[in-house]
């Protein structure tokens, strides 16, 4: 049995902000904070395949801790993994190709292909390595900062499973939505169940906040989002809250490009709503109301600017969001060619506010 009695949490800013409580400083973390912009990550990555790192709890833990060791101003760790471990758990092959990204060589082509997925999924059996990495990392963090768990949301996962990788248009996956709406919903329901089970297990294993990435929301628009994304996002928060019961783990929904759906996302059972850099923080606040915590949203490219400009841009962001009900972050994942020192400047500016 895994040892689930964890060291006491010394920095609870992130969790306090997620619950809408007062904080001494604005909590901050960075999407993709463990990744290729860090030389220590590239060094380890040169020795191991991407999914080998994900599947080896000691390696996933080591990579998760890298940014925490480098930057004293980070207020959270996020477990090192990928959203595409779910298609893998459903029996699909996923490869991570350098300078290409994820590739699924046998994508779903027709609705009949849904029956080829190995479903139901026993997530402990198929993804137990993630839970092991979470539990190990909770111990190694020694209570320094909380640990975030995550999953992709159903529409985003469906997109990769049909496109066979990233896409500029998502036209193959959207083709399904228009030609086979009922079969699309069947696939989205399968994914919803697996994602919910997976997040419940992450919570039980020690994840202290759970973020759901709907990274491909930008391709949908209001009508498709209402039909093919929102109901599943909502069902996930319901199932996870039911599954975790008394163990209350706050949840974040980050639907990239879903500026048109902020009101409904604020009513979908998540404590935190993440926004990308195209959204005006003051407009977002008007849409989500006072009871939701907002997360975001500096343009990841702002980290290319000089130190003074970056400081000014970060302060503008802080002034637009205010200190209450707010978690600072970028508006999407950090890019691999950012200088790590710029991250330090960003984090320091947030904590000086």
Residues 200-239 that bind ligand CP3 (CB under 6 A): 213, 215
Is residue 45 close enough to count as binding ligand CP3 by CB under 6 A?
yes
Is residue 78 close enough to count as binding ligand CP3 by CB under 6 A?
yes
180 has catalytic annotation: no
Least Cα distance to 204 among 124, 144, 290 occurs for 124
45 has catalytic annotation: yes
Shortest distance (Å) from residue 115 CB to ligand CP3: 25
Is residue 257 close enough to count as binding ligand CP3 by CB under 6 A?
no
Cβ-based neighbours of 199, under 8 Å, separated by 6 or more: 149, 151, 207, 210, 212, 236, 240, 243, 251
Position closest to ligand CP3 via CB: 215
Q: Which of 75, 82, 197, 201 binds ligand CP3 (CB under 6 A)?
A: 82
282 has catalytic annotation: no
Is residue 62 close enough to count as binding ligand CP3 by CB under 6 A?
no
Q: Which of 35, 87, 257, 300 binds ligand CP3 (CB under 6 A)?
A: 35
Near ligand CP3 by CB under 6 A, which window of 96-104, 196-204, 241-249, 290-298?
A: 96-104
175-191 in b/e form (b: 16+ CB < 10 A) is ebbeeeeebbbebbebb
Is residue 66 close enough to count as binding ligand CP3 by CB under 6 A?
no
Residues making up the chain, counted from first to last: 353
Contact 234, 214 (CB under 8 A): no
Q: Between the CA of residue 114 and those of 10, 117, 169, 186, 212, what are the distances in Å?
A: 46, 6, 22, 9, 23
Residue whose tokens read 């975001």: 296
Contact 79, 137 (CB under 8 A): yes
Q: Between the CA of residue 86 and those of 83, 161, 229, 232, what are the distances in Å?
A: 6, 10, 17, 15
73 has catalytic annotation: no
141-156 in b/e form (b: 16+ CB < 10 A) is beebbbbbbbbbbbbb
CA dist., res. 331 & res. 275, Å (int) = 6
Q: Which of 16, 19, 25, 32 binds ligand CP3 (CB under 6 A)?
A: 32
Near ligand CP3 by CB under 6 A, which window of 25-33, 240-248, 267-275, 337-345?
A: 25-33
Is residue 14 close enough to count as binding ligand CP3 by CB under 6 A?
no
Q: Which one of 16, 19, 32, 70 is the catalytic residue?
A: 32
Site string for ligand CP3, 165-194 (x = CB under 6 A): -x----------------------------
DSSP H or E run through 201: helix 181-205
Q: Which one of 16, 36, 70, 335 is the catalytic residue?
A: 36
Question: In the complex, which residues of this chain contact ligand CP3 (CB under 6 A)?
Answer: 31-36, 45, 50, 78, 80, 82-84, 96, 98, 101-102, 150, 166, 213, 215, 256, 333
């Amino acid at each position: 049995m895994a040892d689930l009695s964890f060291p006491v949490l010394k920095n609870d800013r992130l969790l306090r902000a997620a619950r809408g409580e007062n904080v001494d400083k604005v909590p901050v973390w960075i999407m993709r904070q463990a990744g290729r912009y860090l030389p220590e990550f590239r060094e380890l990555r040169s020795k191991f395949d991407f999914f080998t790192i994900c599947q080896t709890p000691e390696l996933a833990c080591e990579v998760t801790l890298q940014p925490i060791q480098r930057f004293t101003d980070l207020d959270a760790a996020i477990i090192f993994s990928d959203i595409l471990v779910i298609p893998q758990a459903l029996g699909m092959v996923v490869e991570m190709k350098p300078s290409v990204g994820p590739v699924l060589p046998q994508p779903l082509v027709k609705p009949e292909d849904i029956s080829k997925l190995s479903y139901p999924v026993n997530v402990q059996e198929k993804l137990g390595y993630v839970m092991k990495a979470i539990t190990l990392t909770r111990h190694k963090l020694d209570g320094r900062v909380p640990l975030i768990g995550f999953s992709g949301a159903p529409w985003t996962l469906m997109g990769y499973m049909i496109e066979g990788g990233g896409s500029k248009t998502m036209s193959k996956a959207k083709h399904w939505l228009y030609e086979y709406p009922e079969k699309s919903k069947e696939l989205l329901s399968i994914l919803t169940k697996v994602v919910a089970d997976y997040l419940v297990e992450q919570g039980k294993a020690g994840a202290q906040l759970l973020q759901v990435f709907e990274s491909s929301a930008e391709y949908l628009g209001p009508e498709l989002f209402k039909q093919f994304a929102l109901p599943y996002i909502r069902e996930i928060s319901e199932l996870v809250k039911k599954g975790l019961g008394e163990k209350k783990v706050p949840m974040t929904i980050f639907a990239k490009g879903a500026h048109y759906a902020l009101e409904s996302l604020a009513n979908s059972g998540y404590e935190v709503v993440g926004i990308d850099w195209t959204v005006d923080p003051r407009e977002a606040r008007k849409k989500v109301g006072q009871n939701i915590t907002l997360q975001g949203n500096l343009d990841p490219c702002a980290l290319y600017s000089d130190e003074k400009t970056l400081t000014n841009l970060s302060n503008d962001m802080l002034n637009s969001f205010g200190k209450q009900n707010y978690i600072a972050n970028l508006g999407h994942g950090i890019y691999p060619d950012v200088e790590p020192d710029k991250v330090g400047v960003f984090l320091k500016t947030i904590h000086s506010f």
